[in-house]
Amino acid sequence: MATLETPLEAPKAGQHPAWKALKEHYAKIRKLHLRKLFSQDPARGDRLAVEALGIYLDYSKNRITDETLRLLLQLAEESGLRAKIDAMFRGDKINITEDRSVLHVALRAPKGTSIFVDGEDVVPAVHAVLDKMAGFSERVRSGAWKGHTGKRVRNVINVGIGGSDLGPVMAYEALRYYSQRDLTFRFVSNVDGTDFAEAVRDLDPAETLFIISSKTFTTLETMTNAHTARAWSLAGLNGDETSVAKHFVAVSTNAKEVAKFGIDTANMFEFWDWVGGRYSMDSAIGLSTMIAIGPDKFRSLLDGFHQMDLHFRETPFDRNLPVLLGLLTVWYTDYFGSQTVAILPYEQYLKRFPAYLQQLTMESNGKHVTLDGTQVAQDTSPVYWGEPGTNGQHSFYQLIHQGTRLIPCDFIAFGKPLNAIGRHHDILLANVFAQAEALAFGKTPKQVKAEGTPDWLVPHRVFEGNRPSNTILAERLTPETLGKLIALYEHSVFTQGVIWNVDSFDQWGVELGKVLAQRIVPELESKDEPKLAHDTSTNNLIRRYRTLSR
Ligand code: F6P
């Protein structure tokens, strides 16, 4: 295995010639309006668009010139993006702070290919688990898998949090159209008891299967929910412990903890420490997805991921969808000072996609030090957020159109609807195109006046425009397209992380709160007044809670 540069030799973001050149270039073009860019170059909409794998990315409505693109691509080269991509696919331990390979790409590698971790080809193990998942999924879908009382399973509840929840719930919602409709799927993540209570309130334990999904099998929320689920299930099944084998399966890397919980490891679906939680929805963590849509469609999903992996790895950067998307994010974050990116899917089935992307992007690149441990020289991940169109248009789009902040938007839409009803889809798509057009070109005072608007009202009705967006258009939302779309963002995140020279695959920032919560739990639960040694604010809140809760 080729060795990765040691962190100290790694290139430092902010020091490449392209950073400086981009800074100077930004100063020159920052006021340039998209109206002018389009009028000077009427073919811009044809030129600044790429189609690959059936995904059309129109990035012409960005505040860039050919020179911007040239410099951003130079930045990618100077940052060593090519070598870093190769290092990831080769299985190098690019997650340096955890000393781990980063091989979600192996989860969708076709049978017969090889990817090595510590000298071992991991692809056969990936397919062995996929086959085991397929066998189990078929039994649940056909009704062959019976519960403890002999009734067939009708309800599947995934218990997990973060990457062990957001991927499964997003994928279930996204692919619900393809799901087996006589099965009910629910997702319990929050340690707030309401989440569990509402998920099971109308369900029969004899017909309910729990998938306990946790990479570590130690996460407080998931373990608390898992124990509650166990108690609920046993209470409905005469307390017979042997029922657990029929109503609980686990997805984890930690066989020891799974066994300790009381789940037979024969009912465990394995994955590996080289799969990050937020990159795991296409591992066994996708078991609920596979049960919902069936093994064949799950394989199409994986195939979509894999096609995008190959595209990312092999396509020159100027036509590489994830690279372009990632570089544009760096451009707005570090030069325009944009704080956020809006993800706006015009597809109701993608309603949880923005939430899914929040963990993928922000847990990956929300970092304040570079690989060598020094403070980053510029902003890293923007805040990702969003809602499906057209709903967002009637709530927060006002701010995007006329507010004081620059919010780059990613519009996502499909040519064909999954539920073709009357004119709905034409109206939906007319809205997405209209929004991107309005954001880019706006409406001048002259145009507003020409409509007979009184002078005093003109400023209120002016749209400055020059608000950037990407439009991502594909034929139809299928499992394969979803795989491509997710991998597109995974690799865009990778590209950003390389430019910023951060470790996109650790998440130390979640640790402190977890540790403090573990310390506070006994202080809330203790019968006797605990001796508190926090700051006065935290001490007071704990005391007040103890009073309120009793
Ligand atoms: O708290 C963050 C995190 O570690 C995520 O990275 C992860 O996806 C989530 O918790 C759940 O972890 P696990 O799958 O180990 O329960």
Q: Half-sphere exposure (CA, 13 Å, Cβ side) for 520?
A: 16
Which of 241, 252, 159, 151 is CA-nearest to residue 199? 159
Q: Which one, of 137, 185, 194, 138, lies nearest residue 157 by Cα?
A: 185
Q: Is 158 in the pocket of ligand 1 (CB under 6 A)?
A: no
Answer yes or no: is the C-beta of 224 below 6 A from any ligand 1 atom. Answer: no
The structure's pTM equals 0.96
pLDDT at 483: 99
And the tokens for 371?
């690989």
Strands 55-58 and 469-474: antiparallel
Among 394, 446, 460, 531, the one annotated catalytic: 394
Residue type, 154: R
What is the reported pLDDT for 42? 95
pLDDT at 6: 40
Is any atom of ligand 1 closer than 6 Å to the C-beta of 128?
A: no
Q: Are strands 208-213 and 155-159 parallel, antiparallel or unpaired?
A: parallel
Return the pLDDT at 12: 64
Q: Quick check: CB of 214 below 6 Å from ligand 1?
A: yes
Mutate to test the pocket of ligand 1, among 504, 507, 512 (most ligand atoms within 8 A of CB): 507
How far is the C-alpha of 36 from the C-alpha of 446, rounded, in Å? 16
Q: H helices within 143-213, ranges in order?
A: 166-174, 193-200
Give the distance (Å) from ligand 1 centre to CA of residue 50.
35
394 assigned to active site: yes
Alpha-carbon gap, residue 144 to 445, rounded angstroms:
68
Please report, in angstroms and rounded to a whole number, the separation of the first and last CA atoms in the chain. Answer: 60
Q: How many residues does the chain have?
A: 550
Catalytic residue among 260, 437, 514, 525: 514
Q: Answer for the pair 295, 138: CB distance below 8 angstroms, yes or no.
A: yes
Q: How far apart are CA 335 and CA 367, in angstroms?
A: 18
How confident is the chain (550 residues) per 10-residue block, as mean pLDDT? 40 81 98 98 97 98 98 98 98 97 98 95 98 98 98 98 98 98 98 98 98 97 98 98 97 95 94 97 98 98 98 98 98 98 98 98 98 96 97 98 98 98 98 98 98 98 98 98 99 98 98 96 97 98 97
Q: Which residue's CA lies nearest to atom 9 of ligand 1?
A: 162
Query: Which atom of ligand 1 lies closest to the CA of 507?
Result: 6
Ligand 1 atom nearest 278 alpha carbon: 8
Give the pLDDT of residue 151: 98
Give the Å distance between the CA of 276 and the centre of ligand 1. Answer: 9
Angle between helices 479-500 and 66-78 (to 10 degrees): 70
State whether the beta carbon of 517 lies less than 6 angstroms from ligand 1: no
**Which atom of ligand 1 lies closest to the CA of 213?**
14
Residue with tokens 């870093």: 84
Residue 205: CB within 6 Å of ligand 1? no
Q: How far is the CA of 283 from the centre of ligand 1 (A)?
A: 14
Which of 270, 363, 490, 523 is catalytic? The answer is 363
If phi > 0 it is left, if psi is from -120 to 50 it is alpha, else beta; for residue 262 that is left
Measured from the CB, is residue 220 less than 6 Å from ligand 1? no
Whether ligand 1 lies within 6 angstroms of the CB of 278 is answered as yes
514 part of the active site = yes
Q: Of all protein residues, whose CA lies closest to atom 1 belonging to ligand 1?
A: 510
Q: Is 163 in the pocket of ligand 1 (CB under 6 A)?
A: yes
Atom 16 in ligand 1: residue holding the nearest Cα: 214
